[in-house]
């Protein structure tokens, strides 16, 4: 078929997560869905809060003409105002509606920001372990990815970021709470990254944005307040969504928020608004915009995710897995008991437990599991984790 060679090769190398998902479908067909324990996908399992349904019903009954037409490409003014107000309250930073535009999820927001920033051949630094889609998002906008590393606790390594930056670097992507590790980047780490970026800007006479991808910002279990990136670099822009905090992944609603301290923020927001239109998103979905404007302070039942994390962490560490305890999101990134993470994932698969090899996140030697699954799946997976660990330890 006449699809491009590039897409063909991206599909072939690209998605471990998708591959595991497809393996899962086959295994479920062979063994029965209730005997396969699929921890490979980050698809939120918790239902949206009740406020969502109330607002949805209100909109369904609203017969005001024009409700479903196009609106300004950046979104409804009242939605941007509601997001800015909630952000002011959450961060203490003086956001106004002109710093916010509504997007089709965090994925849409990332593509829009990258489109606004990159010229062909420009570079973007990502920090391993990273969300694999970044590689494609950067490529979509003509950029090149450079990979920096993290320490043993999965905090980004500032020295490694410094050496990944060149004269062509236009952005560094940070993602906290992190997919795949669940780790929250500390304020100290963010301050060091900010300093590294500022030093590089001065040394290379360039401007570099910190793009903070934060769809898990409200999924935090440790009582820590979220360390925002804005105070650490003036050129910071956030991409986020309500896919996870409101359980609305299918509704494709998110936003971009530029730093009120960035002197170039109006240009950035203009460019992003143009990119939102010309990438074909046009605008974020109207119904979802109207709903989230009214439920900015609601969330899914975050404590339910915390309980799942606690159960899984205590069971897996009891078995002997080495894990950096995650403080947020709904992932864990244990060390693979076999040096080859793909071989270990295959061992788990033979016991009908599906996870994703760390290789897919730029971090071989680990594997990712998602605990945004029902309790039956979590509990059912434990025997497989136990058996595979014993087999791996006997082999090595
Ligand atoms: C780190 C990260 N960024 C972005 C996204 C995309 O989120 P959305 O569904 O809001 O586009 C995801 C989804 O899993 C994610 O994990």
CATH number of the structural domain spanning residue 127: 3.40.640.10
Cα gap 126→157, rounded to integer Å: 11
Mean pLDDT within 98-112:
98
Q: Are residues 73 and 181 in the same domain?
A: yes
pLDDT above 90: residue 95 = yes
For ligand 1, mutation pick of 106, 111, 292 (most atoms within 8 Å of CB)? 106
Residue 381 in tokens: 């997976």
Between 107 and 27, whose confidence is greater? 107
- Find out whether the beta carbon of 42 lies less than 6 Å from any atom of ligand 1: yes
Q: Are residues 31 and 163 in the same domain?
A: no
Residue 184 in tokens: 């929250």
pLDDT tens sequence across 111-125? 999 999 999 999 999
Within a domain: 125: yes
Mean pLDDT within 278-289:
98
Cα gap 133→93, rounded to integer Å: 30
Q: Are residues 244 and 106 in the same domain?
A: yes
22: CATH: 3.90.1150.10
Mean pLDDT within 362-380:
96
> Mean pLDDT score of the chain, rounded to an integer?
96
Number of domains in the chain: 2
pLDDT tens sequence across 21-42? 788 888 999 999 899 999 998 8
Q: Cβ distance 389 to 320 under 8 Å?
A: yes
Within a domain: 179: yes
What predicted TM-score, i.e. pTM, was given to this entire model?
0.96
Q: Are residues 190 and 140 in the same domain?
A: yes
Burial class (CB in 10 A: 0-12, 13-18, 19+), 371: buried
- Find out whether the beta carbon of 370 lies less than 6 Å from any atom of ligand 1: no
Which domain range does residue 94 map to? 64-294
Domain boundary among 248, 274, 294: 294
Which residue in this structure is represented by tokens 């087999």? Answer: 391
Residue 256 in tokens: 């971009």
List, as one string, the DSSP characters of 333-390.
-PBPSSS-HHHHHHHHHHTTEE-EEGGGGT-TTBEEEE--S-HHHHHHHHHHHHHHHH
Q: Are residues 288 and 334 in the same domain?
A: no
List, as one string, the DSSP characters of 294-307.
H-TT----HHHHHH
Within a domain: 155: yes
Within a domain: 276: yes
Residue whose CA lies nearest to ligand 1 atom number 7: 106
Q: Are residues 290 and 304 in the same domain?
A: no
Q: Cβ distance 345 to 40 under 8 Å?
A: no
* pLDDT-above-90 percentage for the chain: 89
Cα gap 214→261, rounded to integer Å: 19
Alpha carbon of 105 to ligand 1 centroid (Å): 7
- Determine the pLDDT at residue 239: 98
Between 45 and 173, whose confidence is greater? 173
Q: Are residues 121 and 170 in the same domain?
A: yes
Q: Are residues 305 and 289 in the same domain?
A: no
Mean pLDDT within 224-238:
96
Domain boundary among 274, 294, 314: 294
Q: Are residues 24 and 82 in the same domain?
A: no
- Helical H segments across the chain, by residue range: 5-14, 16-31, 50-61, 77-91, 105-117, 133-140, 158-164, 187-204, 265-278, 286-294, 302-319, 341-350, 375-395
Mean pLDDT within 290-313:
97
Category of 365 on φ-ψ map: left (φ > 0), alpha (ψ -120 to 50) or beta? left
Within a domain: 142: yes
- Determine the pLDDT at residue 394: 94
Within a domain: 54: no
Q: Are residues 82 and 37 in the same domain?
A: no
pLDDT tens sequence across 184-210? 999 999 999 999 999 999 999 999 999
- Find out whether the beta carbon of 105 lies less than 6 Å from any atom of ligand 1: yes
Category of 135 on φ-ψ map: left (φ > 0), alpha (ψ -120 to 50) or beta? alpha
- Find out whether the beta carbon of 260 lies less than 6 Å from any atom of ligand 1: no
Domain boundary among 294, 327, 344: 294
- Determine the pLDDT at residue 21: 77
Between 152 and 395, whose confidence is greater? 152
């Amino acid at each position: 078929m006449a699809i491009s060679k590039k897409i063909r090769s991206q599909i072939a190398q690209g998605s471990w997560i998708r591959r595991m998902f497809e393996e899962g479908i086959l295994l479920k067909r062979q063994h029965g869905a209730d005997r396969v324990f699929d921890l490979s996908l980050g698809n939120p399992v918790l239902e949206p809060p009740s406020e969502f349904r109330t607002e949805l019903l209100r909109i369904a009954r609203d017969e005001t003409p024009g409700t479903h037409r196009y609106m300004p490409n950046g979104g409804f003014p009242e939605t941007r105002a509601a997001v800015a107000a909630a952000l002011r309250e959450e961060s203490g930073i003086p956001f106004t509606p002109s710093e916010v535009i509504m997007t089709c999820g965090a994925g849409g927001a990332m593509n829009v920001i990258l489109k606004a920033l990159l010229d062909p051949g420009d570079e973007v630094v990502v920090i391993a372990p990273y969300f694999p889609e970044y590689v494609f998002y950067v490529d979509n906008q003509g950029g090149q990815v450079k990979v920096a590393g993290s320490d043993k606790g999965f905090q980004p390594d500032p020295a490694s970021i410094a050496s990944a930056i060149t004269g062509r670097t236009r952005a560094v992507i940070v993602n906290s709470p992190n997919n795949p590790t669940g780790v929250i980047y500390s304020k100290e780490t963010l301050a060091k990254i900010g300093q590294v970026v500022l030093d590089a800007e001065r040394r290379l006479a360039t401007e570099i944005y910190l793009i903070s991808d934060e769809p898990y910002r409200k999924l935090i279990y440790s009582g820590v307040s979220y360390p925002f990136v804005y105070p650490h670099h003036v050129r910071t822009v956030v991409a986020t969504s309500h896919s996870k905090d409101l359980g609305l992944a299918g509704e494709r609603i998110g936003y971009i928020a530029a730093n009120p301290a960035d002197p170039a923020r109006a240009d950035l927001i203009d460019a992003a608004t143009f990119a939102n239109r010309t990438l074909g998103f046009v605008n974020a979905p109207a119904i979802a915009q109207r709903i989230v404007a009214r439920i900015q302070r609601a969330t899914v039942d975050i404590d339910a995710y915390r309980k799942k994390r606690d159960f899984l962490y205590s069971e897996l560490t009891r078995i002997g897995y080495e894990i950096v305890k995650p403080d947020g999101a709904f992932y864990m990134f244990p060390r693979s008991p076999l040096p080859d993470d793909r071989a270990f994932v295959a061992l788990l698969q033979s016991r009908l437990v599906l996870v994703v090899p760390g290789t897919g996140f730029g971090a071989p030697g680990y594997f990712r599991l998602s605990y945004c699954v029902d309790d039956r799946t979590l509990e059912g997976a434990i025997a497989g984790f136990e058996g595979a660990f014993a087999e791996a330890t006997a082999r090595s």
